[in-house]
């Protein structure tokens, strides 16, 4: 007779933003492989994610939404509730990045990044948190932070500010909601092979400099992030609150 796994997500439903590609897609698939149903939120088609979740044998529902403003939060919540599933896990992965020297950075690029990465993320989390608190069943909230939650970086002022703010919000919400049965934690991905890092990987000097610092010796592949997400979404992390967990090939250790 097999014993239930601490990492088993069977019967749970995860709402994952930015699930149409990259890290969000990889997280959604990993959660599905652990047994969770997936409500995927993205601004473009999610056919590839849907196929991979289906291959894992998990339910899938797509919600098309532009998370650049808080007006998207209510419709997303309404559509999620219309599936009939309770949101047990929220993964705030959606994010954008804009690059320019600080002296040239525009207000529009500042606002666009902060709106998606921090403002809408907070208000979506607030909405899900209210629901979790109201029914008393708790839940798991996972924010996708960044190495820029710890470091400054260059030429990405609004991204750094937003990800530093997200790490702070993770800790604040953990303090407020831990005694309500809600775990709020974050993952800080290192340098992964995604659309957001294409400019860096295409720059020979920056690519070489980055690889030279990663002890693991390679850019992360999105699938290498899934295990951390499953851990933070599962009963295995029930006493873990307010952590920002680097998954970075050893970058922060160097």
Compute the mean pLDDT over every residue in the chain, rounded to the nearest whole number. 97
* CB contact at 8 A, 30 and 23: no
Element (H, E) at 92: strand 89-92
Q: Which two tokens stand for residue 100?
A: 């320019």
**What are 25-42's pLDDT values in tens digits?**
999 999 999 999 999 999
pLDDT of 164 > 80? The answer is: yes
**What are 41-58's pLDDT values in tens digits?**
999 999 999 999 999 999
Any residues with CB less than 8 A from the CB of 101 and at least 6 apart, and which?
155
pLDDT of 217 > 90? The answer is: yes
Band of pLDDT at residue 195, cut at 50, 70 and 90? confident
Mean pLDDT of all residues in 143-156: 97
User: Is 191 annotated as catalytic?
Assistant: no
**What are 89-111's pLDDT values in tens digits?**
999 999 999 999 999 999 999 99
pLDDT of 3 > 70? The answer is: no
Annotation: CATH topology of 13-245:
Rossmann fold (3.40.50)
Q: Which two tokens stand for residue 78?
A: 């309404």
Mean pLDDT of all residues in 241-249: 98
Q: Which two tokens stand for residue 102?
A: 């600080």
Q: What is the sign of the dihedral through the CA atoms of 7, 233, 185 and 50?
A: positive
pLDDT of 148 > 60? The answer is: yes
Band of pLDDT at residue 2, cut at 50, 70 and 90? low
Provide the percentage of residues in the chain whose pLDDT is more than 90: 96
Sketch the domain layout of the chain as residue ranges.
13-245
Of 150, 159, 177, 231, which residue is the catalytic one?
159
* Alpha-carbon gap, residue 89 to 96, rounded angstroms: 22
pTM of this structure: 0.97
pLDDT of 223 > 90? The answer is: yes
The string of DSSP codes covering 178-245 is: GGGTEEEEEEEE-SBSSGGGHHHHTSHHHHHHHHHH-TT-SPBPGGGGHHHHHHHHSGGGTT--S-EE
**Beta-strand relationship, 182-189 and 139-144:** parallel
CB environment 89-122: b (16+ within 10 A), e (fewer): bbbbbbbbbbeeeeeebeeebbebbbbbbbbbbb
pLDDT of 24 > 70? The answer is: yes
């Amino acid at each position: 007779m097999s014993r239930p796994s601490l990492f088993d997500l069977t019967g749970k439903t995860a709402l994952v933003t930015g699930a149409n590609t990259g890290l969000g897609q990889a997280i959604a698939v990993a959660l599905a492989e652990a047994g969770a149903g997936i409500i995927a939120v993205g601004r473009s088609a999610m056919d590839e994610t849907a196929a991979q979740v289906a291959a894992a044998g998990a339910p899938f529902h797509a919600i098309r939404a532009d998370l650049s403003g808080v007006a998207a939060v209510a419709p997303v919540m309404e559509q999620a509730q219309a599936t009939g599933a309770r949101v047990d896990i929220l993964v705030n992965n959606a994010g954008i990045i804009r690059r320019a020297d600080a002296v040239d950075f525009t207000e529009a690029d500042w606002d666009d990044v902060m709106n998606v990465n921090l403002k809408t993320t907070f208000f979506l989390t607030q909405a899900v948190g209210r629901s979790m608190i109201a029914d008393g069943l708790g839940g798991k909230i996972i924010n996708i932070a960044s190495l820029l939650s710890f470091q400054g970086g260059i030429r990405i002022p609004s991204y750094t500010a937003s990800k530093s703010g997200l790490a702070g919000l993770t800790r604040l919400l953990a303090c407020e909601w831990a005694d309500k049965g809600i775990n709020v934690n974050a993952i800080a991905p290192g340098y992964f092979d995604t659309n957001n890092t294409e400019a860096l990987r295409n720059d020979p000097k920056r690519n070489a400099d980055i690889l030279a610092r990663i002890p693991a010796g390679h850019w992360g592949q999105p699938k290498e992030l899934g295990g951390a997400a499953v851990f933070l979404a599962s009963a295995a992390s029930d006493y873990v609150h307010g952590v920002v967990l680097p998954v970075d090939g050893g970058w922060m250790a160097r």
